[in-house]
Amino acid sequence: MAHYEIEVKTLLGEKAFADALKKRMSELDPSCICTSENKQLNHYFTGGDTVALFEKTAHLLHDEAKAKFKTIVEKGTSFSVRTRQRDNEVLLVVKASIDAGTSANTVSRLEFEEPVSISLSELDARVLEAGFTYQAKWSREREEYAYKGANVCIDKNAGYGYLAEFEKIVEDEATLPAVREELAMLMAELEVSELPQDRLERMFAFYNEHWPDYYGTEKTFVIE
């Protein structure tokens, strides 16, 4: 079954603003808890053939994951392909646009994220064999919170500094507009604003061009 991700980002920048957001979530939702803390390496790819990628990785996936990947390949309009190491776990990540955004930064999209039993470098090699090339490599530290039915990720990203993502995953495509509005209301009560798509795209483009200067470091930049 396909899963649809609705995600909205807000740029926090400095640690003090991230701490303030966590404090306000706890005040407004006493049941808010941190569900996960992890360190990640994320490798983004561009170009390539998603059908070929499916063929080269299907043997690494269980039957349900294969069916989900196939659905995304068939229904997606543009794709963001990534490999991820989350602590000691390696995952293949494919996100496909289903709205007017881009698959890298869009609000509504199909998402595939499944573990594989090979190393990050071995998984990268299979993606490259499918015709993809490296777009950028990212490093981040992530905290995930359960807040009023939504998942809130607070990330410390190389380049960006602190950023929060408000997200929900649903199975019914018809519910996407209502869920999008629900996330907007949660952000409003927390007094954070959505990072405009055009600014996010400028930040994304700058990082893609300069990522070797930031990957694995705590250096940040500001793009208005």
CATH label of the domain that carries residue 83: 2.40.320.10
Match 């949660």 to its residue by tokens. 186
Q: Which pLDDT value is given to residue 106? A: 47
151-210 tens-digit pLDDT: 999 999 999 999 999 999 888 888 888 999 999 999 999 999 999 999 999 999 999 999
169 assigned to some structural domain: yes
What is the chain's mean pLDDT, rounded? Answer: 92
Structure tokens at 16: 């003090």
Burial code of 71-106, b = ≥16 C-beta within 10 A, e = fewer? bbbeebeebbbbbbbbeeebbbbbbbbbeebbbbbb
42 assigned to some structural domain: yes
**Structural domain tally of the chain?**
1
166 assigned to some structural domain: yes
Residue 70 CB contacts under 8 Å (≥ 6 apart), including other chains: 54
Q: Which pLDDT value is given to residue 115? A: 96
pTM attached to this predicted model: 0.83
8 assigned to some structural domain: yes
89 assigned to some structural domain: yes
124-148 tens-digit pLDDT: 999 999 999 999 999 999 999 999 9
Q: Which pLDDT value is given to residue 131? A: 98
Are the C-beta atoms of residues 11 and 177 closer than 8 Å to each other? no
pLDDT higher than 90, residue 97:
no
208 assigned to some structural domain: yes
pLDDT higher than 50, residue 109:
yes
In the predicted model, what is the mean pLDDT of residues 9-29? 97
63-88 tens-digit pLDDT: 999 999 998 898 888 899 999 999 99
> What band does 110 get if pLDDT is binned at 50, 70 and 90?
confident
224 assigned to some structural domain: no
Residue 188 CB contacts under 8 Å (≥ 6 apart), including other chains: none
Task: Please classify residue 194 by burial: count the beta carbons closer than 10 Å to its beta carbon, then call 0-12 exposed, 13-18 middle and 19+ buried.
Answer: middle
Domain residues for 55? 4-213
64 assigned to some structural domain: yes
Per DSSP, helices labelled H in the chain are: 15-28, 50-57, 63-75, 120-129, 176-189, 197-210
